[in-house]
Amino acid sequence: MQVRLEKSWQNQLATQFDAPYFKELTDFVRQEYQQFTCFPPAKDIFNALDSTSFSDTRVVILGQDPYHGEGQAHGLSFSVAEGVSHPPSLINIFKELEVDTGKPYPKSGVLTPWAKQGVLLLNATLSVRAGQAGSHQKKGWEQFTDAIIASLSDNKTGVVFMLWGNYAKKKGKHIDRSKHLVLETGHPSPLSANRGLWFGNKHFSKANAYLKQQGGTQIDW
């Protein structure tokens, strides 16, 4: 597996690459990509870290698995490749964004512009077998992404962590809430949103208010 990381992440996570679990994870992922169709494309597995450096990270949006449909995932949580129809969760994200900030519903589902502004779009698991949600869970990815969250929490201040759904909330145990803002709500999936657990959370405006309070630049969502 090609570890393609921006230099500041390479430095932060160097000990992970030498750990026994990461060797086992690498072997597993390599075999999966050789034997099955998996997503995102291998070159995009670390796209979230490559698109948003450790030093630039100001907001973290934590997803669970990459999308497991053809052509959807490209390594950024909740984002889809250009020209791909918006999945239900992304539709609900954009609907909440529109109500919260007044920004018109976007045509493109590519969230790279967010990443370029310091929004780390991180999935807890960075790969998945086609059509099989959760198929690469409990193979080591969770330990790796826990290390990413802990590194941000320990070595930075004033980061906004958006934890959507119970799975993401559990990852919040690695965050020092005395020096970061943690925003929690239901998952944007229709199941959660239709139960009243997503809409009205105002996470986008709350994040910008906090960033402004910290003396930083707000995100152009």
> DSSP state, 128?
E
Cα angle, residue 22 at apex, residues 20 and 23 outer, rounded to 5°: 65
| 114 Cβ neighbours under 8 A, 6+ residues apart | 59, 61, 121, 219, 221
The total of other beta-carbon atoms located within 10 Å of residue 61's CB is 27
Q: Give CA 196 to chain center in angstroms.
A: 23
Catalytic pick from 27, 50, 56, 65? 65
Which of 168, 173, 158, 172 is CA-nearest to residue 208?
158
**Amino acid occupying residue 145:** T
The total of other beta-carbon atoms located within 10 Å of residue 92's CB is 22
65 counts as catalytic: yes
Q: Which residues are catalytic?
A: 65
